[in-house]
A and B are shown apart, each in its own frame.
Chain A
């Protein structure tokens, strides 16, 4: 019911940031992830980061998802 794809935060200013989705970059709102930092991989749903992707869980898979 809800599409969300992982992207890496490359910039953050206040509650706004920019995320890289393997070559495609878009503004993302970080209101719902106040602690997200540049370099974090986050799930983006409709322009908002909704969760941090835990890369320690399945590092290979997570990296592959972002880098494809």
Chain B
């Protein structure tokens, strides 16, 4: 049980959120402060902790593009499936990517049809598979953001040092700051502040976000993932929103030094060059991906297995995931949401991923929660009387 004092402090924090957001709304003349949580794990924390449903109407959370499942294009899934179907090849992936549909099915479907697709918790485990079976080729599906890319680089370094030749990576990494720039560059974004991803920041630190405040005048807080982290981060952000000059600050100080992780940043530089990447439903963003430096071609699956299909199937008709990921509309504003598009019949990426904005909105449905609150209040009254 949570001690009464803790609940009291939650109430006090919520009161502060109510007060400060209302004040900002009065000043801006808008109905809500719009806060984008960039990271899918934050989306989940807000929903699973129940905090999302406790926030006042004057705070509106927008779920950003920080979920690799959401931003991997169907074309890239098709290419991963193509790799998995090459003779003598095992494709190793994080479980996250198994069910993401491409134009001709997911990796899970490919496995059902005979392709050798395996899940791994760590890229180091994928390398271990390669060590144990030198006759087979192992390709690791390199998805993720700045948090994950250094791990894969370290794994490639280990493979290079040991002279392991049957291991390569299909790089689909994406970078957060360029995506924020793409969002902010559009005039119609309506974002008042960012909750910035804690574990990406554990690697890159604070500096790469400075442009968000300096060039675009939007504040941001780097936050942790526990409910109490979010409860601390929101008032911090609202306080920044009031300031004349926008700034970026860190709530998650226990895990994010301002300088990030220098060793991880070094290894990223050593192995990768920034490259244009295509974000699902958003499009191409310059320098928002990572390509292997040419000296590591031997570990680049794209070089090692020529002939990868270049075709990119069109996005599903009517799907507004792009606008949702960019913070321009809410899931419920999409005509497909909850009708043609549900977790069982997901049309767009935000519903496919369990972390996606639409899946979270559907699963932890706010309308249902408020209905529950009402019936709960009635029964409490009944018990008391």
Contacts and interface: CB of A to CB of B under 8 A. Distances in A.
Interface of A: 1-4, 29, 31-34, 43, 45-48, 50-51, 53-55, 57-58, 61-62, 65
Interface of B: 38-41, 66-68, 94, 121-125, 144-145, 147-148, 150-151, 154, 157-158, 197, 199-200, 202-203, 226, 228, 253-257, 261, 263-264, 267, 355
A61 B122 contact: no
A51 to B, nearest CB: 4
A59 B11 CA distance: 23
A2 B147 contact: yes
B197 A50 contact: no
Given A1-B68, A50-B150, A61 B254 contact: yes
B254 A62 contact: yes
Given A1-B66, A1-B145, A45-B147, A32 B39 contact: no
A55 to B, nearest CB: 7
Contact of B121 (A33, A34, A46): A46
Contacts of B41: 1-3
A46 B122 contact: yes
Contact of A4 (B147, B154, B228): B147
Given A47-B121, A47-B125, A1 B151 contact: no
A65 B225 CA distance: 11
11 contacts: A1-B39, A1-B67, A1-B147, A2-B145, A2-B147, A2-B200, A31-B154, A46-B121, A48-B154, A50-B264, A65-B226
Chain A facing B: main interface SS: loop
Contacts of A55: 254
Given A43-B199, A50-B203, A61-B228, A1 B124 contact: no
A62 B224 CA distance: 12
Nearest to B229: A61
A53 B257 CA distance: 9
Given A29-B122, A32-B150, A2 B144 contact: yes
Scoring A1, A33, A50, A61 by chain B CB atoms within 10 A of each residue's CB, the highest score goes to A1
Nearest to A16: B124
A29 B153 CA distance: 12
B157 A1 contact: no
Q: Lowest 8 CB-CB distances: which A-B pairs, in order?
A: A47-B122, A2-B147, A31-B154, A2-B199, A51-B202, A1-B66, A57-B254, A48-B151
A40 to B, nearest CB: 13
